[in-house]
Amino acid sequence: MAFEPNIPPIQVHLCVKGGREAIAFYEKAFDAVETFEQMAEDGVRVLHANLSMFGSEVMLHDEFPEFGGEVLSPLSRGGAGLTININLPAPADVDSAVEQAAEAGAVITMAPEDAFWGSRYARITDPFGHVWAFNAPLEKQS
């Protein structure tokens, strides 16, 4: 199986209610940079957007229940079905990422802590129902 260069083999494609608001949140919370946006014919919903964040790319779109309910936002489904894990280089980065996300409107569901598996770890839920985890290796004890 051949892959296109510069395209990660696995990408997150988020479905949200309020695509423009979600893009603005991710820009503020995660320093995301929008690299592409296509609005739907209604001029209100985001048909497709690409966001560069955390050294990778996340795709995003509004939900379109009129085309079938296969993909809906966590807010419509009653909760997230997965956790998006962000691996960061240093423990302090976990604390900073969580603080920045909370200031932008995320809810901290697990405050940063040193976890038993040897990482600094925390989780937040964004205003669109998606769960994000932040993980960084702890210094090895000698």
> Quick one: 75 exposed, middle or buried, by C-beta within 10 A (0-12, 13-18, 19+)?
middle
E strands, 54-118, in order: 56-62, 83-87, 107-114
- For position 3, what pLDDT does the model report? 57
User: Residue 53: pLDDT above 80?
Assistant: yes
The pLDDT of residue 87: 96
Q: What is the pLDDT of residues 91-100, one digit of tens each?
A: 999 999 999 9
The CATH topology of domain 12-65+75-137 is 2,3-Dihydroxybiphenyl 1,2-Dioxygenase; domain 1 (3.10.180)
pLDDT tens-digit series, residues 57-75: 999 999 999 988 789 999 9
- Retrieve residue 136's tokens: 């960084």
105, pLDDT greater than 90: yes
pLDDT at 115: 97
30: left (phi over 0), alpha (psi -120 to 50) or beta: alpha
Nearest to 66 by CA among 92, 94, 100, 42: 42
Lowest-pLDDT choice from 5-19, 34-48, 65-79, 92-106: 5-19
In this structure, the dihedral spanned by the alpha carbons of residues 39, 43, 46 and 47, taken in order and rounded to 10 degrees, is: -60
Question: At 90, is the pLDDT very low, low, confident or very high (cuts 50, 70, 90)?
Answer: very high
pLDDT score recorded for residue 4: 61
Pair 137, 118: CB distance under 8 Å: yes
Between CA 2 and CA 47 the distance in angstroms is: 27
